[in-house]
Structure 1
Amino acid sequence: MKTKIKKRLKIVFVGTTDFAKKYLKSLIKSKHKITKVITKRIFFKRKCISEVEKIAKKNFIPVIYKTNLNNSKIIRKIKKKNPDIMIIVAYGEKIPEKIINIFPLKAINIHPSILPRWKGPSPIQRAILNGDKETGISIILINEKIDSGNILYKKKCKIEKKDTFLSLSKKLCNIGIKCMFLTLKNIYKNKEHKQKDIKNNNLYAHKIKKSETKLVWSKKAIDIERSIRAFFPNPGNYFIYKKKRIKIIESKIFFSKKKCLHGKIIKISKNGIYVGTKENYLIIKKIQLEGKKIINSIDIYNGYKNFFKIGDVIK
């Protein structure tokens, strides 16, 4: 006989990034109750609180900000409110089995890919870098392995040619929030957990390395353009020119059969800076110099004629 589950669930929410923030906000507005939030402090030049923590405190929700949850004090804190389920979005740490077993309905993780493709910490960036035509949202039941539990719900999403990490994240977030509430509805309707698995296309989304953010002009233009979109707005792609670090915000491929030295500036116009690559040219449309505002191709043409020179080679 199935156990009757109440419709108003008591939830412990776990997440850190801006992607997670929107899920928390939607849950706060819903009929469900957030009993506690678990997040991490962010380290970037200095330690600062995450957007998830800010929202939790604004709504008077108790916060635990630890990466190691495997201790008796934290377990007691979580148990205190008798929560029903844990929801994990972009947390980046493994949840101990002792914590998962606190919850009668266990824990679910909302992952921005169609699993098992792009398991791991950087699925959105890796999908764009790889030139994938689609990605999606998978909601999985947590087990002892990362991104490997039973898939309870999944929804595909098309990747458009101009999608950046930012734009694709927003689309996936909107889809994921709907999927999350449908999954919770299925849970309290006592629908069976469904195993939906894909036997091929199993790629791992490794964490983005700092070395990946420096442009390599010996690559094809299509790969460089994908990289710029995948890393926008952060961490961003950059190149070095005249000892200055310059971030590329937007680019476009110029198709040509002509061969050119990798990184060589072959043309500067109101459309942008044309640079040679292994295959075709890359048109740099928007840039940001260190300590400066983002400027478009017209501003580059009008304001930096004496800085960028045709024939120079970009490192």
Structure 2
Amino acid sequence: MSIENQSSNKQRVIFAGTPEFAAISLQALIEQQEALNIELVAVYTQPDRKAGRGQKLTASPVKQLALEHNLPVEQPLTFKKSVEEGQAARETLANYKPDVMIVAAYGLILPVGVLEAPTYGCLNIHASLLPRWRGAAPIHRALLAGDEQTGITIMQMDKGLDTGDMLYKVTYDIAADETTASLHDKMAELGAEAIVTVLKDLSHYQAQAEKQDDSLANYAEKLSKSEGEIDWTQSATHIERQIRGMHPYPGAYTFLVDPEGKSEPKRVKVLSAMPVNASQTTVVETGTVISVGKNAILVACGKESADQEATTLRLTKLQFAGSKPVTAEQVCHGSQLDDGDKFVAAPE
């Protein structure tokens, strides 16, 4: 039955999510409750976590938004029926008598018993064009892989990891200067628009559900901080994607060698860069600073392929340990870098 065609009884909707990405969709549903003929009966989110320098317990963005709008908030640790707390969480959810559950970056595994509890099941807002980039970090992985397109998939959840039938897709062309931060914000807005579209006529989209081709699937594993370490033997194109894909978290970084050898290499964050179209005019060891200029710091990188010339990366913003971010021009006028200095991997 179409949600928009029900005039007497509103669909009872549970929303489950945790970070800002999910909060954008929750805000859209709050604003569209009347138009969609829905009632948000409960919001599920991760338990409060310690955050900041003071390590104070902090509510998730989704919880903060829910409380602002006087929505009931549930924060179970588990839904496993094998433990008392999980069984109690299932019973609480069932008592809300949900017609549908919307899930966006919730961070808690939903067992089959929970997926089947709502009348129309659970819908997931996933930030990729499934089956590409199933898993925890689809936005990062799309940038790191150099994908030209990504998007949002509204999926009918099943017991697999992002394996459910696809109800609706929205495609987005990735800009050349896109970072994880900017792409996250665009995907969050697209996700909100997409779930509103689906809820306007849920039965229509469920009837046209498309199964995923598992042979085309790949997985977007959660990033580790070590993946931010720059390997200067890689091509400038590869490193530039790494810098964008790691911004703002976990961040791309390298280590600056002390030319006099009096101290250990110092960690430097690389905040933005651009590959140079032309290859190096001078063959130098990868990681070597070719020149420090007002517009960019040129660094020698590896080859795009074995039969091509070495490449060069233009660093435009850096952050030295214990200092604020600085532009190439500020570095040029300072004394942090000189021509011939060397960037290396983590010191052993």
Q: TM-score, normalised by structure 1?
A: 0.91
- Confirm or deny: 8 A CA contact 1:6 1:188 kept in the other structure: no
Aligned pairs for 1:49-128 within 5 A: 49-70=59-80, 71-128=86-143
Q: Which residue of 1 aligns with 2:40?
A: 34
Contact 2:232 2:286 (C-alpha < 8 Å) held by counterparts: yes
From 242, 245, 258, the counterpart of 1:230: 245
Query: Is the contact between residue 292 and residue 328 of structure 2 (CA under 8 Å) also seen in structure 1?
Result: no
Equivalent-residue separation in structure 1 for 2:93 and 2:297 (angstroms):
55
> Retained in 1: the 8 A contact 2:297–2:328?
yes
What amino acid maps onto 1:271 in structure 2? N
1:154 aligns with 2:169: yes
Q: Is the contact between residue 168 and residue 205 of structure 2 (CA under 8 Å) also seen in structure 1?
A: no
Letter in 2 for 1:247: K
Matching residue of 2:83:
none
Q: 1:191 to 1:69 in 2, by over 3 A?
A: closer
Name the structure 2 match of 1:309: 338
Task: State the distance in 1 between where 2:135 and 2:70 align.
Answer: 32
Q: Distance in 2 between matches of 1:144 and 1:52?
A: 24
- State the AA in 1 paired with 2:181: L
Partner Cα separation in structure 2 for residue 278 and residue 195 of structure 1: 43
Per the alignment, do residues 81 and 253 of structure 1 end up closer, same or farther by CA in structure 2, a change over 3 Å counting? same
Name the aligned partner's letter for residue 313 of structure 2: L
Q: What CA deviation, in whole Å up to 9, does each residue of 1:128-169 have, x standing for no partner?
A: 111111011111101111101110111111111111111112
Q: How does 1:1-315 map to 2 (within 5 A)?
A: 6=6, 8-31=10-33, 32-40=38-46, 41-42=48-49, 46=55, 48-70=58-80, 71-187=86-202, 192-198=207-213, 201-241=216-256, 242=258, 243-258=265-280, 259-279=283-303, 280-302=311-333, 304=334, 306-315=335-344
- Equivalent residues, number: 312
Shift of 1:72: 2.2
CA RMSD of aligned residues (A): 2.2
2-11 vs 155-164, greater mean Cα deviation: 2-11
> How many angstroms apart in 2 are the aligned matches of 1:84 and 1:174?
24
Cα shift readout 1:32-53 (whole Å, capped 9, x = no counterpart)? 3222222124465745322111
Distance 2:59 2:242 in 1: 29
The answer to whether the 8 Å contact 1:152/1:196 transfers is: no
Give % identity.
29
CA shift at 1:75, angstroms?
Answer: 1.8
- Which whole-Å deviations, capped at 9, do the CAs of 1:148-202 have from their partners, x for residues lacking one? 1110111111111111111112222222222111111221568614215346542
Q: Which stretch shows the higher mean deviation, 73-82 or 100-109?
A: 73-82
State the structure with more CA Rg: 2
Question: Do the aligned partners of residues 42 and 214 (structure 1) sit closer, same or farther apart at CA in structure 2, a change above 3 Å counting?
Answer: farther
Which amino acid in the other structure matches residue 244 of structure 1? K
State the alpha-carbon separation in 2 of the partners of residues 199 and 191 from structure 1. Answer: 20
SS across alignment from 1:278: strand
CA 1:290 to 1:58, structure 2 compared with 1: closer, same or farther past 3 Å?
Answer: farther
Q: Deviations over 1:252-296 (max 9, x none)?
A: 111333332111111000112111110311111012234433222
- Aligned mates of 1:205, 1:86 — CA distance in 2: 24
Q: d(CA) in 2 for partners of 1:191 and 1:227?
A: 38
CA contact (8 A) 1:150 1:193 kept: no
Structure 1 counterpart of 2:286, one-letter code = H
CA distance in 2, matches of 1:79, 1:152: 24
Kept in 2, the 8 Å contact 1:272–1:300? The answer is no
AA aligned opposite 2:61: E
Q: Structure 1 residues 239 and 84, CA, compared in 2 at 3 Å: closer, same or farther?
A: same
Q: How far did 1:214 drift?
A: 1.3
| Worse overlay, 118-127 or 84-93 | 84-93
- 1:12 and 1:96 map into 2 onto residues whose CA distance is 16
Residue ranges of structure 2 left out of the alignment (5+ in a row) = 81-85, 259-264, 304-310
Normalised by the length of structure 2, the TM-score is 0.83
Q: Specify whether residues 138 and 255 from structure 1 end up closer, same or farther in structure 2 by C-alpha distance, changes over 3 A only.
A: same
Q: What runs of 5+ residues in structure 1 fail to find an aligned partner?
A: none
Distance 2:167 2:330 in 1: 50
Q: Which amino acid aligns with 2:32?
A: S
Deviation at 1:111, TM superposition (A): 0.6
